[in-house]
Structure 1
């Protein structure tokens, strides 16, 4: 989120409508979310592990794209929380801080959609009630906790958010031992490295390790203001500035502050709104104080994998859960200190696994000539939502694009038309630090075709 916000007012201005107009895959412009179809447990790359007690379900609206991730436990478990970022958005966080020494937690929910996505957390609780798992008696009420990331603004051209219907679809699709990695679930439109202008696609990551009878799992949705950093000290994903080294290190970026945040900065030759929400789960019994210490220790360790970490513009939240399946006096149980150290390494693995394959920019083809009939066919106004439209026109025999709605459309700005440089039949590109791929197909304008595509529908002439 830049994480949630630089201020409450800025956040609300960035996400002002709860009933968006958006272009669907069918090429129609819709005015509500009622017809959106939840996609559950999507993604080809998945972490698989053996832990029947822990079930995970993801739900997505491809039209956003945005989504939700639900962690469901086989029975009530112990939970703790640690909050580090300057703009968190959470549900039921204070209850976990009370330190009661009995299991009461049913689900942990991560969601896109900024504060609108908090609906997903309460939706998981009502699903437990509606499905007869929990009831209304004081000792059987469902408890769900959760946190959100900001995934609106310039990363997509609509304001679709994860709602109750999507969250409950994810809850009911939960399955044991399978976790989609990358830009799926709550991480569907996540981003990292905005602090340095990297603006790389991000997502959700997970990792699992078993030491004897002890099981440790870590999950995270990385929407960090800082850059993802590997164990060799290199930046994992970034849209670099001109002249930046091929192998980029955060130490160079941090040492170059504040100039490294400015356009045109180059490191020495010798050398938005964001948030990361996370969960660490152990099967070993831990009393509340020790579980809280695990949360603090693991959350602190994440500053190695995300640099900088926990800024004013991050809403970093970490939940720690003990399922209590393994008694802490049993042979093979670990000390809480050892648990914290191992869990911290597992979390770093989870951070690294969150980075999806970055899209490739199309390369202009100077030899390709757009047919005159196609130039005529492509021209027109394309609507992406009630606040983003793009006009395609011809200037000097070339196709140009200009945003005509209330907001820009990525590299297509309101203030001036930009040339669409041809690549192949129907494909164009707008080169730059953040290149934009463009495709015309069946009366639609597709920006960044592929996993993060946005579809505009051509208006009737």
Structure 2
């Protein structure tokens, strides 16, 4: 089966979603807000050993809230959870949220990655800046947004290379779109051994991350583990956080299955992954805008494409990273291109 990208090859190819980024170059950190034009069915799957989250329990299929208003991906480790308060404030000002009598409560789950030891100035005083960055990200949300060293990926690192913010989309034969957005900050490597080739190469569409394929023959060090600085290879000091979204009509349980399937993309794009020191997590969203319910074959296609699309987004995050002052690691382009 041949897949093609959506028109922008971004998460916002899924109708009903907008994305906003806010970052601070001195801080080397930032926030990405995913805004749902209408409440969207959502779930989550955590497979890393050191997650940092807000409002994820309500996303389980057996719990009562069926739809959410926004998601937040943030740098800043636990400090970055403040970003959701900024997004929530922006939505409340616009009258968006879950109605409880006279109260309007925006539902905004969030996840964070660790970027505290990346060369940025974290001397922010009494309160961290993430609430304000979250508000800024929400207010700037649009269908077009930057990748690479931007938003939640502004201070991301991987094993030997800068990480970043990545996105990709896929249009299925039935017209349904599935798309991914990821803050790639893993302890593991996204490239094969010491080569420039990406682990995600078999799923690449066109030359969206260089068109390099796999090295031939595979290098003898392909299976060697390359991890981020040893002193950072401890609980909470890494993490890849992501969103997988579709315009298909899904139940909350099916959205949970979508998040699970998308983790295959982590395993296809990062080695090693889902370690005890990563907080690897994927949110899922279903806007239902296509009005297409999935039959058996359509469901298999969707879940397969979810993993492939996520792998592509991770590679693009690293491929599109740009250099900045006080970087601890080179970008992919500086090292290989």
TM-score, shorter chain, exceeding 0.5: yes
- Larger strand share, 1 or 2: 1
Equivalent residue number for residue 145 of structure 2: 179
Flag the 1:279–1:358 CA change in 2: closer, same or farther, 3 A. closer
- Does residue 1:150 correspond to 2:117, yes or no? no
Are 1:191 and 2:191 matched, yes or no?
Answer: no
Contact 2:259/2:282 (CA < 8 Å) preserved in 1?
yes
Instruction: After TM superposition, list the pairs within 5 Å mapping 1:182-261 onto structure 2.
Output: 182-193=148-159, 198=160, 200-211=161-172, 212-229=174-191, 236=198, 252=221, 254-255=223-224
Instruction: Tell me if the contact between 2:73 and 2:152 (Cα under 8 Å) persists in the aligned partners.
Output: yes
* Cα offsets for 1:192-216 (capped at 9, x unmatched): 01xxxx2x11101000122243111
Distance 1:235 1:275, change over 3 A: farther
Alpha-carbon distance change, 329 to 217 in structure 1, aligned in 2, over 3 angstroms: closer
Q: 1:281 and 2:245 equivalent? A: yes
**Structure 1 counterpart SS, 2:279:** coil
The one of 312, 325, 332 equivalent to 2:289 is 325
Aligned residues of 1:235 and 1:248 also touching (Cα < 8 A): no
1:97 aligned residue: 60
Superposed, 1:290-305 pairs within 5 Å as 290-305=254-269
Is 1:355 equivalent to 2:328 in the alignment?
no
The 3 A distance-change label for structure 1 pair 262 and 347 is: closer
Partner of residue 70 from structure 1, selected from 10, 22, 33: 33
Question: Which whole-Å CA distance do the structure 1 matches of 2:20 and 2:219 have between them?
Answer: 34
What is the rounded CA distance, in whole Å, between the counterparts of 2:35 and 2:228 in structure 1?
43
C-alpha distance in structure 1 between counterparts of 2:316 and 2:273, whole Å: 18
Q: Indicate if the aligned counterparts of 1:46 and 1:179 stay in contact, CA closer than 8 A.
A: no
Where 2:145 maps in the other structure, the secondary structure is strand
Q: Cα 1:74–1:189, aligned 2, differ >3 Å: closer, same or farther? A: same
Whether contact under 8 Å (1:294, 1:336) holds in the other structure is no
Give ranges in structure 1 of 5+ residues lacking alignment. Answer: 1-44, 238-245, 264-271, 362-383, 385-408, 412-433, 436-447, 452-461
8 Å Cα contact 1:123-1:164 kept in structure 2: yes
The CA distance in 2 between the partners of 1:252 and 1:293, in whole Å, is: 34
Q: Is the 8 A contact 1:86 1:315 kept in 2?
A: yes
**Inter-CA distance 50–311: structure 2 relative to 1 (3 Å threshold):** closer
**Is residue 327–residue 333 contact of structure 1 (8 Å, CA) maintained in 2?**
no
Change (3 A) 1:110 1:96: same
What are the Cα deviations for residues 265-319 of structure 1, in whole angstroms up to 9, with x where unaligned? xxxxxxx221000100011111222221111111133211000001111010100
Q: How many angstroms apart in 2 are the aligned matches of 1:410 and 1:148?
A: 20
Aligned position for 1:425: none
Of structures 1 and 2, the larger Rg is shown by 1
Q: CA deviation at 1:94?
A: 0.7
Higher mean C-alpha deviation, range 160-169 or range 319-328: 160-169
- 1:404 aligns with none
Distance of 1:250 and 1:122 partners within structure 2: 47
**What secondary structure sits across from 1:143 in the alignment?**
coil
The alpha carbon displacement at 1:133 in A equals: 2.3
Q: Deviations over 1:196-250 (max 9, x none)?
A: xx2x1110100012224311111111000000147xx96549xxxxxxxx99978
Q: CA deviation at 1:168?
A: 0.6
Pairs aligned (count): 297
Normalized per residue, the structure richer in helix is: 2
Higher relative contact order (CA 8 A, sep 6+): 2
User: CA-to-partner distance for each residue in 1:371-402, whole Å, 9 max, x for gaps?
Assistant: xxxxxxxxxxxxx9xxxxxxxxxxxxxxxxxx
Q: Which runs of 5+ in 2 are unaligned?
A: 1-7, 200-214
Q: Report the TM-score when normalising by structure 1.
A: 0.57
**Residues of 2 paired with 1:48 and 1:148: CA distance?**
19
Instruction: Name which of 269, 291, 301 aligns with 1:338.
Output: 301
Aligned equivalent of 2:133: 166
* Counterparts of 1:318 and 1:48, CA distance in 2: 14
TM-score by length of 2: 0.77
